[in-house]
């Protein structure tokens, strides 16, 4: 399932004030509505999105809810007849949503930093002005939270990257990045779920399967899980 950014596709959007903050609600097609949390890309905003997902997911008129990174896609079973009432209902639900902290599991990922798969480590160093060992140290000392899954099956968007090593995604993506590649994309960290084109910055490699369609639980990560990267080897 592809994570929605809320940057496009909406036919109409509204900024609604509630409790002193603002939430953006957009329609996408006839049955889907996108709720975007206000403020920064942070854990409190994501916890409130998780709370909103639980509230709306329990409603009979809602077919499914899909949490993204500080946003929530709400798919109604039928096209709402009363537009204003639907808008007001989503507004009220946002006002009721309180931050929740899922009891996620801890995932420890041994990483080979540097080496042949860290094709963008030099670019990260140039952007941050830090030497490679310091980039690796700061990356491995982070404590990450899985905000959402998307982009590719099982791919987790990880919050908790040290802001001093945040590096914009590449303008020209790598065409054949291996699954298991440890990456930085803007303010987020990740591990490639599939082999193929990828615009994130590769700084290491992990021998693990992020998604196995034949497993009882296909995705290694789930929203609310915690991730630690363990330096197993460094090649510079």
Instruction: Give pLDDT tens digits for 163-185.
Output: 999 999 999 999 999 999 999 99
What's residue 55's pLDDT? 95
Above 70 in pLDDT, residue 4?
A: no
* pLDDT above 90: percentage of residues in the chain: 84
What's residue 21's pLDDT? 57
What's residue 6's pLDDT? 35
Above 60 in pLDDT, residue 47?
A: yes
Q: Using 50, 70 and 90 to split pLDDT, how confident is the model at 11?
A: very low
Phi, psi (deg, nearest 5) at residue 202: -80, 125
What's residue 103's pLDDT? 83
C-alpha 9/C-alpha 2 separation (Å) is 14
What's residue 29's pLDDT? 87
- Please list, in sequence order, all residues whose beta carbon lies within 8 angstroms of the beta carbon of residue 8, skipping any fewer than 6 positions away: none
**CATH code matching the domain that covers 106-235, chosen among 1.10.260.40, 3.40.30.10, 2.40.100.10, 2.40.160.40:** 2.40.100.10
Kindly state the average pLDDT of the residues 41-70: 94
Phi, psi (deg, nearest 5) at residue 15: -105, 120
Q: Using 50, 70 and 90 to split pLDDT, how confident is the model at 12?
A: very low
Domain boundaries, the chain: 12-96, 106-235
Q: Using 50, 70 and 90 to split pLDDT, how confident is the model at 139?
A: very high
Contact 168, 127 (CB under 8 A): yes
How does pLDDT run across 88-137, given as a tens digit for each residue? 999 999 999 988 877 899 999 999 999 999 999 999 999 999 999 999 99
CATH of domain 12-96: 3.30.1360.40
């Amino acid at each position: 399932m592809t994570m929605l950014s809320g940057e496009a596709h909406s036919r109409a959007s509204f900024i609604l004030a509630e409790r002193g903050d603002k939430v953006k609600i957009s329609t996408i097609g006839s049955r889907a509505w996108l709720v975007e949390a206000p403020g920064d890309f942070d854990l409190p905003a994501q916890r409130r999105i998780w709370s909103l997902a639980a509230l709306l997911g329990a409603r009979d008129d809602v077919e499914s809810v899909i949490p993204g990174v500080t946003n929530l896609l709400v798919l109604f079973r039928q096209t709402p007849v009363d537009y204003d009432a639907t808008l007001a209902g989503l507004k009220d639900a946002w006002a009721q949503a309180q931050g929740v902290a899922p009891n996620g599991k801890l995932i420890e990922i041994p990483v080979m930093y540097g080496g042949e798969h860290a094709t963008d480590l030099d670019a990260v160093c140039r952007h941050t002005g830090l030497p490679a060992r310091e980039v690796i140290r700061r990356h491995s000392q982070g404590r990450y939270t899985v905000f959402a899954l998307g982009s590719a099956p099982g791919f987790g968007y990880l919050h908790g990257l040290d802001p001093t090593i945040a590096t914009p995604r590449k303008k020209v993506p790598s065409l054949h990045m291996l699954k298991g590649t440890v990456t930085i994309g803007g303010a987020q960290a990740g591990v490639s779920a599939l082999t193929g084109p990828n615009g994130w910055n590769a700084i290491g490699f992990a021998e693990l399967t992020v998604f196995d369609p034949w497993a009882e639980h296909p995705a290694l990560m789930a929203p609310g899980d915690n991730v630690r990267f363990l330096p197993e080897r460094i090649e510079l």
